[in-house]
Structure formats: C-alpha cells, structure tokens
Amino acid sequence: MKLRELGIRLLVRFYPAAWRREFGEEFVDLLLRSPLSVPVLANVLVGAFGERVMNLFRRIVGGDEMADRTFNARYDRMAKIGTGIAVAVLVAVPLMAMRAGTVAAFVALVSAAVIGLGFAYSPRGYEISGGALRVKRLVGDVVFPLNTLRFVRDANAADFWGCVRLWGSGGLFGYYGLFWSKALGRSRWYVTDRSKAMILADGDRVILVSPDDREAFVAAIPHRDSAMTATASGSASGVAGSLVVGLAIGGVTLGLVASAMLYSPGRPPVDLTRDSLVIHSRFYGMTVLASSVDVSGVRVVDLQTDPDWKPVLRTGGFGNPFYRAGNFRTASGRAVKLFTTGTQRLLLLPPSREDGTPVLLDAADPDQLAARVRAEWSGR
Amino acid sequence: MARKPKAGPASDPEMLILASLASGPKHGYAVMGDVEAFSGVTMGPGTLYTAITRLVEKKLIVPKASPGRQRPYQLTRTGARLLGTQLNDMQRVAAAGLERLRTA
C-alpha cells in the first residue's frame, strides 16, 4: 500500500466504523482521486465529526434507517435458564473446591475460561451493512456476504429434526457453533432465540441467525428478490421440540463434567497384613509390600506444616478437588503415590530403596494406622 | 480545492446530488464533477458523502452493486418525486421573485 493511500485510510478512520463499512471503500477511492489540500482535509474531518455526532445521536435516540440495520439478539427462555444454570454450576464448583487448595485455582480457571469463552463467542447482535451480514461477537465479527445469497427464510420444525450439535454451545449464551440436521446438513448457528431462527444460504454455507425483528431483517437485505425469501410455518413450536436432543446432549455433558469434578468415593479402605498393605482405591488400587517400605520412616505428615509433601501435579490416575488417587508430584518435585480425599494429615510410607516411590495415604486415624504399620512390619 | 457552496436552496448538497442523479446513476466522483459542471458548486468529499449518507438513509437514492470500489447511486422513485416537487417549488418561487423584481 502506498503512503498516500495509507494516509487516506488513516484519515477515513475518523469516521464511525458502521459508516466506514457502508461507504469506506468508495470514499477512500474518491479521496485517492482528489487533490488533498488543507481545505479538503478539513472538509473530510468536519464530515467525520458530523457522522460521529449522528452516530451518537442514533445510539441515544435510535429509530432511523442506519439503526434499523442493526438487530438485537435476545435470549429465549431456554437460553436464559440454561445459561443461568450453567453459570451457577461453573461458579459453584470452584467455590466448593476452595478447601482443596491449589486445585481450586485450576478449577476456577477452567470455569472462568468456559464462561468467558462462552460469552465471547456468543452472538451479541446482527448488522447488515456494506452488502454483508455481520454477526457481532466480542472476539470479532463473523461476516457473511449477501451478494451470493441463495435464499433466506424462517426456520421450521423439519429443519431441526434430528439436529445434532457438532461443536459449540447448545444453550450457554445462546446456540452457536457447528450443527447438523438431515434437512440442512452442516450449518453454522449464531442463534439466541430459537423461535426467531432464520436460515441464510449461499452456494457454500448455511447459517442460522435470530434477529429480534425478522421482517426488518429481511427488508434490510440488499438486492433481494421475492423468490429468495420464503416464510415457513410452525417454526416457533417446532424448533423447541427438535432442539431437545441438542440440549439434552449439552446437559448430559455438563452433568458429566460436574460429576467428574465433584465425585469422591471416600477414603480408600485398606487391608494390613504382615507382608503388605492393600489399598482398595476405586480408580487406582495398589498393594504396598512391607519389604518395599522403610518402616523406621513411617510417619504422619501434615501438609500445612510440611508443605514440601503437598501434591501439586497429577501425572497419572484420578484427581478432583475431593478425591485424588494415583501418581502425583509434590511441591518439592518428588514423585509420590497419593490416595486422599483432600485432608491435610496423611500417612507417609517411605520407600526402602532410594529409587522407590513414597506412598501418601489418607486414613480416618492416620496416627493409629502408622502405629499399626510399624507394629506389623517391624522386626521382619 | 473544495469551494464553499453558494448559499441558498440551489446549492444545497442533497438537492445538487439528486439533480445530478436525475440523468442516471453515477458514483461519488462523477457526481462531484457533474455538480461542479452544471452548478458551479465544488463540494468537498466530506460534504458530498455526508449528503449521500443522508440521502441513502432517507431512501431517496440507493447504491447499486458494482465490481469496482466506487458504487454508483441512483434515484429511487421517492427521490425522483421529491426532486421534482422541490424543483417545481423553486421554479415557482424563482419565477414569482423575478417577475416582482422586473415590475418593482
């Protein structure tokens, strides 16, 4: 790009973004053909200021033609309820996990990421300008050119029959992502209200949107002809029923994630014999041979006063804020076999060999179990 | 260089653009040259596109699809009707005013 064009494009940026989308390219072209004297520059800046003022006026008052090209994306009742439940769960889980220390931070981070990404990628509204439909999102608009539009119509029950969500959200901040149905094939959804879903298709893509005013939305599409638009009946009631499958999958997935994060089978039962300690962990059972343990080092460690033993990283096995079983790394970097429900005091079974792995075990009374182990295995 | 339009209804940018488009669709640059040719008014680019923006919003003109960067604009039926009415009014006022000047 030449310096002159670069300067002109910077100058045009004084105009509001919506105006630039509609008139920007041709205005740049006009300025490229015009001599750029001081009065011309002043004239452009005055024009930009005027458009900025008009833009502000439109936002405050609304109701003119420019504003009519922007359409709201309002949530339907199911999206509101689904979003409320999902956010409540995602906020509650890290709060419940607070007692699990460092793990809580990870859970909170995951929850925040799910909520943040869900909101950022959700459609915030629609705008028709510059011959294209823009789906407004926090992370960037999705642009759908309208000059190759084949048809636009209301969605109906048949369109959603057997609908499956391949990727995206099925209720959290709307219904968006990649979906599949027999009638539509693969389609991209940017929907927040299923009863107002509209289908737009060109040669390659099928997308769904849900502008708050469908009639005005269709009217704002440039160069449309009557054959391009069609209204299907029964969309409002049909969409709700056919989306149950997608919502159910989303609900089950959310339920499974919540279960995995909250599940705890409790302290693992143990069987102590003269030769071994069998740990009956549901996910990661093991047998500790007496010969592999340095009995003189068997003791109870308190993770608060002895933070070096604090498990900080799972390298194998199962772990959530309420139950951890498997291979972990401690704060000091040591590998351990860990079985805990999240308590601070754990029985330590140190290895007899230098290359062995210590075992940290949660017990109802760790002091008593330590005494039993020492009594059982001493003098072997 | 952009010259300040002469005062009066005959130099109103929106009216000048409508009058220019009365002979057929034109893009912005062509409108600018045409207006200057038939009225002697040189509109700056900012003035021109402010007026075009308002006219599009009022649905008095519409952009046509174009492969190039410059989109031609054409009068809508409403725009043509409004232009006709305004010009007739102006003509009537002009005729009355001129007549009175002659007889004063």
Token pair 């996990």: residue: A97
Q: Which chain A residues are within 8 Å of B45, Cβ to Cβ?
A: 27, 30-31, 34, 40, 43-44, 47
Q: Is B76 on the interface with A (CB under 8 A)?
A: no
Residue pLDDT, tens place only, B57-104: 888 999 988 888 889 999 999 999 999 999 999 999 999 999 999 987
Give residue B6's pLDDT.
Answer: 52
Closest C-alpha to A335, from A346, A319, A350, A352: A350
Give residue A146's pLDDT.
Answer: 84
Q: Is B98 on the interface with A (CB under 8 A)?
A: no
| Residue A368 or B3, more confident | A368
Query: Which of A31, A37, A44 is facing B1, going by the closest CB pair?
Result: A37
Q: Which chain B residues are within 8 Å of A30, Cβ to Cβ?
A: 28-29, 32, 45, 48-49, 70
Cβ-based contacts under 8 A for chains A and B: 72
Q: Which chain A residues are within 8 Å of B46, Cβ to Cβ?
A: 43-48, 50
Cβ atoms of A151 and A138 within 8 Å: the answer is no
Give residue B100's pLDDT.
Answer: 93
Q: Is B45 on the interface with A (CB under 8 A)?
A: yes
**CB pair distance less than 8 Å for A47 and B69:** no
Give residue A232's pLDDT.
Answer: 40
**CB pair distance less than 8 Å for B45 and A45:** no
Q: Is A35 on the interface with B (CB under 8 A)?
A: yes
Q: Which chain B residues are within 8 Å of A34, Cβ to Cβ?
A: 29, 45
Query: Which of A23, A34, A43 is facing B53, going by the closest CB pair?
Result: A23
Dihedral through CA B2, CA B7, CA B10, CA B14, nearest 10?
60
Query: Which of A30, A39, A51 is facing B28, going by the closest CB pair?
Result: A30
**CB pair distance less than 8 Å for B56 and A48:** no
Q: Which positions of chain A have pLDDT values less than 50?
A: 62-65, 67, 226-227, 230-242
On the 0-12 / 13-18 / 19+ scale of CB atoms within 10 A, B80 is middle
Rounded to a whole number of angstroms, the distance from the CA of A37 to the nearest CA of chain B is: 6
End-to-end CA distance of chain A: 84
Give residue A116's pLDDT.
Answer: 87
Give residue A34's pLDDT.
Answer: 86
Task: List the 118-137 stretch of A: residues with Cβ below 8 A of B.
Answer: 131
CA A252 to chain centre: 16
Cβ atoms of A370 and A351 within 8 Å: the answer is no
Pairing of strands A270-272, A276-279: antiparallel
Give residue A99's pLDDT.
Answer: 57
- Closest residue in A to B47 (Cα) is A47
Token pair 């740049």: residue: A28
Q: Is A26 on the interface with B (CB under 8 A)?
A: yes
| Longest CA span, chain A | 102
Cα(B42)–Cα(B21) distance, integer angstroms = 16
Cβ atoms of A346 and A289 within 8 Å: the answer is no
**CB pair distance less than 8 Å for B2 and A40:** yes
Give residue A202's pLDDT.
Answer: 84
Q: Say which residues have a Cβ less than 8 Å from residue A360's Cβ, sequence separation at least 6.
A: A301, A309, A311, A336, A337, A338, A339, A340, A346, A347, A348, A349
